[in-house]
Amino acid sequence: MAEEKNTPEVEEVAGMATDSQPAPSEQQENPEKFLKDFNWHNYEEGIDPIDDTKLEEFEKLVAENFVDTLDDEVVEGTVINITDRDAIIDINAKSEGVISLNEFRYNPSLKEGDKVEVLIDVREDSTGQLILSHRKARVIKAWDRVNAAHEEATIVNGFVKCRTKGGMIVDVFGIEAFLPGSQIDVKPIRDYDAYVNKTMEFKVVKINHEFKNVVVSHKALIEADIEEQKKEIIGQLEKGQVLEGTVKNITSYGVFVDLGGVDGLVHITDLSWSRINHPNEIVELDQKLNVVILDFDEAKTRIQLGLKQLSKHPWEALDENLKVGDKVKGKVVVIADYGAFIEVAEGVEGLIHVSEMSWSTHLRSAQDFVNVGDEVEAQILTLDREERKMSLGIKQLTPDPWTDITTKYPVGSRHNGIVRNFTNFGVFVELEEGIDGLIYISDLSWTKKIKHPSEFCNVGDKLDVVVLELDVEGRKLSLGHKQTEDNPWDKYVTEFAVGTKHTATIDEMVDKGATIEFNEDITAFVPTRHLEKEDGSKLGKGDEAEFIIIEFNKEFKRVVASHMSIHKEDEAKIVKQAAKKSQEENKPTLGDANADLQALKDKMEGK
């Protein structure tokens, strides 16, 4: 059994003898020795008989020198020994207590002589020792301590037990508290596992009494110091000042740099004179680098930094002998619909407009000519060193196809081209790269009535064409497709001359008359009055009959026929006169040239 210690009460008992009292007994003079030497076994077996006076005195000393422990009472003990697995605790009882070292994981610096709170778990085990619990004692006292720490804003120690979603679980006074990931440090945390099984200082920032939740923060302890550092640093900031910083965070739009408690942003456009797709092409996390202060707001809470400004601008290092007309090589770095940007030197770019990529006047997208990453050769068209602008051209490296246009594409020559696009009035056909011509909608077909070119052909189709007109200065070609074939209406002038008779079937009934198809090219109109048969009835859809041509207009492709004129002598006479007049004057529209026939037309049209 461990040696018991004196208490003030024992000392007081030892000194109670006075001159008027009997001399103190051995037990009174040295109660500690008396209790130590007392043979409890002999006493229980009756070997050492003790008179009642001595027994009462013994019981009195025990009551005065040992604590009366209760199962639910927390007492303070002293660590008197530490083994590999347990801590031996003296709580001033009949025997020492034992606590597993697992209960002190939160306090790895535990040593002999430390005071700890304990609760009796088992009064005596088989060896006669007390089994104590430090964990249970901590829980009983924990909420009082946590509340006090929160109210008084005191710093507490906590043991980081494990990771959890969104943060860490921390043992504080035996209570599992939550440490959010954002409250671990002022810097972003990349390795949470590095904090597990560590004892750290915390501040209790929130307590939910209803759900018994506690939130702690380690970040709050260092923010106060950082704020002081920030004020000192911010007060010394000046535009153009160069500072050393550490890369704290990398985003798609820029890099945050820690200047020693104050963060600044280097925008992606201020990292390098060359174009980059992402800041991680230039910097990496925790990298130390020098930056220059470009700007900050009045409160100096937003600091704009620059990295590329610490090096000479590439335009200043550009070859002084470079001039308009020179050829340069570069890499395509950006493509837009209107053109492509070429990096001809690090940080020096020139624009090739889409119109300078091909001699063709039919503009296309820049993606049709180049891709990002392509190495291209171009000619300098404009160069402005002050504005730091350069325009380039690719087509200038090949001969202009319009140089000998009159030799290659004279008027009347036939060619084959590719349909590139439509307009409402015609079709653009490419004869070769850089040579486009226009076919007006009226020059697509001799016979078809076309409202839009898409009814006649598709983009990508190959068409035979004839050069109708050539404007060298205006770089314009007028083409025709129908001119590649004979005009069938030339022979129809004779075949369907006024006065000729033809047998046909009524195809459709239309407003004010009907239509009949003589062939795939000629559709004639029959006025309502001229549908009258000899018996007075009228022809209908599907009826077959004989018709006489009373008007033929080659220019407007207009043909008018009559059935009534076959059996009406007056009308037949007028038609014969018109036919005769037409032969004499050789005019394409005979009805308008003959007064009698004009009167007949007016009559047909109800005038």
Please state the rounded mean pLDDT for residues 344-348: 85
Q: Which of 368, 364, 436, 362 is nearest to 402 (CA)?
A: 436
Tens-digit pLDDT profile for residues 11-69: 443 344 334 444 555 555 555 566 556 665 555 555 555 566 665 665 555 444 444 44
Residue 538 and residue 586 in contact, taking contact as beta carbons nearer than 8 Å: no
Q: Which residue has the higher pLDDT, 505 or 298?
A: 505
Q: What is the mean pLDDT of the chain?
A: 79
Q: Which residue has the higher pLDDT, 578 or 210?
A: 210
Q: H or E segment at 476? A: strand 476-480
Q: What is the pTM of this model?
A: 0.41
Tens-digit pLDDT profile for residues 194-221: 888 888 888 888 888 777 788 998 888 8
What pLDDT does 434 receive? 80
Q: How far apart are CA 465 and CA 462, in angstroms?
A: 10
- Residue 122: pLDDT over 60: yes
| Three-state secondary structure readout of 289-305 | EEEEEEEECCCCCCEEE
Residue 80 and residue 2 in contact, taking contact as beta carbons nearer than 8 Å: yes
Residue 445 has, within 13 A of its CA and on its CB side, a CA count of: 12
Token pair listed for 105: 């994981």
- Residue 383: pLDDT over 80: yes
The distance in angstroms from the start CA to the end CA of the chain is: 143
Q: How many CB atoms lie within 10 A of CB 163?
A: 14
Please state the rounded mean pLDDT for residues 425-434: 87
What pLDDT does 2 receive? 40
Q: Which residue has the higher pLDDT, 546 or 298?
A: 546
Q: Which residue has the higher pLDDT, 95 or 451?
A: 451
What pLDDT does 254 receive? 92
What pLDDT does 514 receive? 92
Token pair listed for 550: 């009373």
Q: How far apart are CA 268 and CA 278, in angstroms?
A: 7
Q: How far apart are CA 545 and CA 565, in angstroms?
A: 12
Q: Which of 197, 157, 149, 204 is nearest to 179 (CA)?
A: 204
Q: How many CB atoms lie within 10 A of CB 383?
A: 18
* Weakest mean pLDDT among 192-201, 336-345, 362-371, 385-394: 362-371
